[in-house]
């Protein structure tokens, strides 16, 4: 079976079930108003669910999701490295059938076989007469809901909007079942009040056709059979998974070699990510090996022919991060470790491209620079003038507060104009423009706008801190454009996207010229040309071009000095 297709089907079925459970909980919450309001809410929902299309959609999704869950259990490559959230989701998932089988059997099978009318008054009233049923229903609904929430979180955390909405979604995920449980309590109290009326209690069973006696025993038997069948299926799937793992370990003979010289041996059919997990080699995998996040990607240094070809789904993810699974035109062969399965005799030499602790933020980045790229970019350097003397005599708290205010103002100005804040160095800032795929002209225009915005932000900051500063803050900004190597560099938690090369060094030197010229901004002519700014127009404004020598660099660079960044116009 195609793993990507199976994941898509499982995800789709999960969406259907999640929507159903959310609607079900919302329906229970309306019991806070009244049982009648809950029944009115349920009329259109039940009308659809009891129609042939609705029945096929709901129960088809239920059977498909359960089957694919068992299949995933039977085919899991390794239990090593499994995350706590995955364990919790699995335990909640296998608990759903035992907790909900009785309720589902009573409502659906009881309705079809015995004419039971599962209105809220009937369901809650019957549960009130059997307190254990109420408890199972409350626990079951919560288990189903949070099982679905964990799955949704795994899917959503790779989306760019998720960090901003995570707290709101988490509040909603908690609030909905709380309201549903409160509704269940309110409905139970209303049902108790109704059942306290002897006349209502006398006609209750007959009016709603509540299954009693042999009918109820039959329904209970059906539920028990479903639970037994489910536990047998879980046991069989787990046994198959364990046996498959044992057989693969017995057949292990293909060498996987890591950059540090470590070598492990695996059996054919195991993925490269599975090879790492089985052998306790730390390996990034934000999405849990589902082929969605790209954080497990590796460069294949040798043995690419001994791996399964990249499927369309894998190619799509790799294309998103600018990687090539075929190594066309001499580029590095990059594969998703979770989608590359061992087929040949090896050895296979791999280089993981992201640190083992890669986060969802890394996966969302989609920058594609793990292997390094040469790009035509604009580099900005900025430095506070005389800050060492300015901070002398200040308390450490005041110094840190001032720097953080400055960094925040400069960072916002850069990011608001499409720049990437590479790093803060002491009291300086390095930023890149064009790493997101923009053309050279757009990157140059944005960099100039950012420099202007930084000047404006500094003026505003000086005004706000006028009573706290002995002298106003002053800044020097330098801009240069050209080719640079852009990639994720560093070590361990210090790894991040940055750029190196002559363009970066030149930009730093140009920023230093602001001291020599006594100005706030110095821009290389290459930036202005890319931005489409006419040299003649600048000459007319008295901003002349100057050819300068930069330390450590051969040849002169033409620059223009602006007394203030806001003078860019």
* pLDDT reported for residue 200: 84
Using N-to-C axis directions, what is the helix angle for 131-156 and 84-104, rounded to 10°? 140
Q: State which H helix or E strand residue 32 sits in.
A: none
125 and 272 belong to one structural domain: no
* pLDDT reported for residue 491: 65
Upper half-sphere CA count for residue 215 (Cβ side, 13 Å): 15
138 and 274 belong to one structural domain: no
> Which tops the pLDDT comparison, 75 or 450?
450
85 and 180 belong to one structural domain: yes
Question: Closest Cα partner for 473 from 463, 486, 465, 462?
Answer: 462
Distance CA 11, CA 291 (A): 13
pLDDT at 394 over 70: no
Distance CA 329, CA 25 (A): 55
527 and 558 belong to one structural domain: yes
> Which tops the pLDDT comparison, 133 or 302?
302
Q: State which H helix or E strand residue 138 sits in.
A: helix 131-156
541 and 411 belong to one structural domain: yes
Q: Which of 184-188, 203-207, 516-520, 527-531 has the lowest mean pLDDT?
A: 203-207
Q: Which residues pair with 481 in a beta bridge?
A: 378
* pLDDT reported for residue 130: 73
44 and 88 belong to one structural domain: yes
Distance CA 501, CA 505 (A): 7
Inter-CA distances, 314 with 190, 210, 290, Å? 55, 53, 10
344 contact partners, CB below 8 Å, separation of at least 6: 254, 268, 303, 305, 306, 307
pLDDT band at 362 (very low <50, low <70, confident <90, very high): low
Read off the CATH number of the domain in which 440 is found. Answer: 3.30.70.1230
pLDDT band at 389 (very low <50, low <70, confident <90, very high): low
343 and 321 belong to one structural domain: yes
In terms of average pLDDT, the best of 74-83, 125-134, 408-417 is 408-417
* pLDDT reported for residue 149: 92
* pLDDT reported for residue 549: 86
Inter-CA distances, 442 with 63, 438, 504, Å? 52, 6, 19
pLDDT digits (tens, 9 = 90+) for 95-107: 988 888 887 887 7
**Average pLDDT, whole number, for the chain?**
84
387 and 359 belong to one structural domain: no
Distance CA 471, CA 448 (A): 27
Read off the CATH number of the domain in which 279 is found. Answer: 3.10.20.30
Upper half-sphere CA count for residue 81 (Cβ side, 13 Å): 22
Distance CA 294, CA 282 (A): 16
Do the Cβ atoms of 421 and 411 come closer than 8 Å?
Answer: yes
Distance CA 383, CA 453 (A): 15
Inter-CA distances, 447 with 39, 147, 180, 387, 485, Å? 60, 46, 52, 24, 18
pLDDT at 324 over 60: yes
pTM value > 0.85: no
538 and 554 belong to one structural domain: yes
Q: Where would I find the H helices in 323-434?
A: 360-365, 387-391, 396-415
Question: Closest Cα partner for 159 from 290, 292, 284?
Answer: 292
pLDDT > 90 fraction of the chain, expressed in percent and rounded? 26
Task: Identify the domain containing residue 54 by its residue range.
Answer: 3-246
Asked if residue 347 has a cis previous peptide bond (ω within 30° of 0), the answer is: yes
pLDDT at 478 over 90: yes
pLDDT at 547 over 70: yes
* pLDDT reported for residue 392: 60
Distance CA 452, CA 253 (A): 62
pLDDT at 451 over 70: yes
pLDDT digits (tens, 9 = 90+) for 214-262: 887 888 888 899 999 999 999 999 899 888 877 777 777 789 999 878 8
* pLDDT reported for residue 196: 85
230 and 269 belong to one structural domain: no
* pLDDT reported for residue 369: 52
* pLDDT reported for residue 209: 83
Phi-psi region of 209 (alpha: psi -120 to 50; beta: other; left: phi over 0): left
Q: Got the DSSP string for 91-112?
A: HHHHHHHHHHHHHHIIIIIHHH
Give the number of domains in the chain. 3
pLDDT at 445 over 90: yes
pLDDT at 548 over 60: yes
* pLDDT reported for residue 481: 93
Upper half-sphere CA count for residue 461 (Cβ side, 13 Å): 23
> Of 302, 336, 364, which one is at a domain's C-terminal end?
364
> Of 246, 279, 299, which one is at a domain's C-terminal end?
246
Residues belonging to the chain: 569
Q: Which of 166-170, 372-376, 425-429, 433-437 has the lowest mean pLDDT?
A: 372-376
Do the Cβ atoms of 527 and 480 come closer than 8 Å?
Answer: yes
403 and 522 belong to one structural domain: yes
Question: Would the CA dihedral through 48, 103, 112, 37 be positive or negative?
Answer: negative
> Of 313, 347, 364, which one is at a domain's C-terminal end?
364
pLDDT at 361 over 70: no
The stretch 79-89 carries a mean pLDDT of 78
pLDDT band at 390 (very low <50, low <70, confident <90, very high): low
pLDDT digits (tens, 9 = 90+) for 11-56: 889 899 999 899 989 988 999 999 889 888 888 888 888 888 988 9
pLDDT at 364 over 60: no
Structure tokens at 260: 């540090």
* pLDDT reported for residue 274: 87
* pLDDT reported for residue 288: 78
Distance CA 132, CA 107 (A): 16
pLDDT digits (tens, 9 = 90+) for 144-182: 999 999 988 888 877 778 878 888 999 999 999 999 999
Per DSSP bridges, beta strands 334-336 and 263-266 are unpaired
Distance CA 305, CA 348 (A): 9
The stretch 310-338 carries a mean pLDDT of 85
Angle 74-309-316 (CA atoms, 0-180°, nearest 5)?
90
265 contact partners, CB below 8 Å, separation of at least 6: 252, 253, 254, 255, 256
125 and 80 belong to one structural domain: yes
């Amino acid at each position: 079976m195609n793993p990507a297709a199976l994941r898509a089907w499982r995800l789709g079925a999960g969406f259907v079930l999640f929507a159903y459970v959310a609607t079900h909980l919302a329906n229970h919450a309306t019991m806070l108003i009244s049982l009648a309001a809950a029944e009115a809410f349920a009329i259109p929902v039940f009308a659809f669910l009891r129609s042939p299309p609705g029945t096929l959609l709901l129960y088809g999704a239920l059977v498909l999701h359960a089957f694919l869950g068992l299949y995933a259990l039977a085919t899991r490559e390794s239990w090593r490295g499994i995350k706590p959230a995955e364990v919790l989701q699995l335990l909640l998932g296998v608990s759903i059938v035992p907790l909900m089988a009785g309720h589902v059997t009573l409502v659906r099978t009881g309705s079809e076989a015995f004419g039971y009318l599962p209105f809220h008054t009937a369901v809650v009233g019957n549960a009130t007469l059997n307190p254990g049923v109420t408890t199972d229903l409350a626990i079951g609904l919560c288990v189903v809901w949070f099982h679905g929430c964990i799955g949704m979180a795994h899917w959503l955390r790779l989306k760019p909007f998720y960090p901003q909405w995570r707290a709101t979604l988490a509040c909603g995920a908690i609030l909905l079942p709380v309201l549903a449980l409160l509704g269940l309590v309110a409905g139970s109290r209303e049902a108790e009040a109704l059942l306290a009326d002897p006349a209502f209690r006398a006609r209750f069973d007959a009016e709603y056709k509540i299954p009693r006696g042999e009918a109820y025993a039959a329904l209970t038997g059906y539920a028990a059979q479903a639970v037994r069948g489910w536990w047998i299926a879980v046991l069989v799937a787990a046994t198959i998974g364990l046996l498959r793992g044992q057989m693969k370990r017995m057949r292990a003979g293909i060498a996987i070699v890591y950059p540090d010289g470590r070598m492990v041996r695996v059996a054919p059919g195991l993925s490269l990510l599975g090879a790492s997990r089985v052998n306790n080699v730390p390996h990034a995998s934000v999405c849990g090996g589902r082929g969605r996040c790209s954080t497990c990607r590796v460069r294949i240094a040798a043995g690419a022919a001994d791996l399964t070809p990249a499927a369309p789904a894998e190619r799509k993810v790799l294309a998103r991060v600018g990687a090539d699974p075929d190594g066309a035109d001499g580029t590095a062969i990059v594969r998703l470790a979770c989608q590359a399965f061992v087929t040949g005799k090896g050895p296979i030499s791999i280089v993981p491209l992201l640190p083992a602790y890669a986060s969802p933020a890394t996966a969302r980045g989609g920058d594609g620079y793990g292997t390094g790229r040469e790009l035509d970019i604009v580099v900005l350097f900025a430095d506070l003038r005389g800050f060492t003397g300015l901070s002398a005599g200040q308390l450490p708290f005041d110094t840190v507060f001032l720097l953080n205010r400055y960094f925040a103002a400069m960072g916002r100005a850069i990011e608001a104009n499409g720049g990437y804040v590479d790093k803060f160095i002491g009291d300086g800032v390095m930023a890149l423009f064009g790493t997101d795929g923009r053309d050279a002209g757009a990157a140059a225009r944005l960099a100039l706008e950012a420099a202007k915005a930084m000047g404006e932000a500094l003026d505003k900051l000086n005004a706000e801190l006028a009573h706290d500063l002995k002298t106003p803050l002053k800044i020097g900004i330098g801009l240069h454009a050209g080719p640079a190597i852009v990639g994720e560099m560093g070590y361990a938690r210090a790894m991040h996207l940055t750029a190196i090369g002559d363009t970066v060094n030149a930009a730093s030197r140009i920023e230093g010229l602001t001291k020599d010229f006594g100005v706030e901004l110095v821009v290389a002519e290459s930036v202005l040309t890319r931005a489409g700014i006419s040299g003649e127009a600048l000459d007319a404004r008295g901003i002349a071009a100057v050819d300068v020598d930069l330390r450590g660099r051969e040849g002169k660079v033409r620059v223009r000095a602006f007394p203030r960044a806001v003078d860019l116009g």
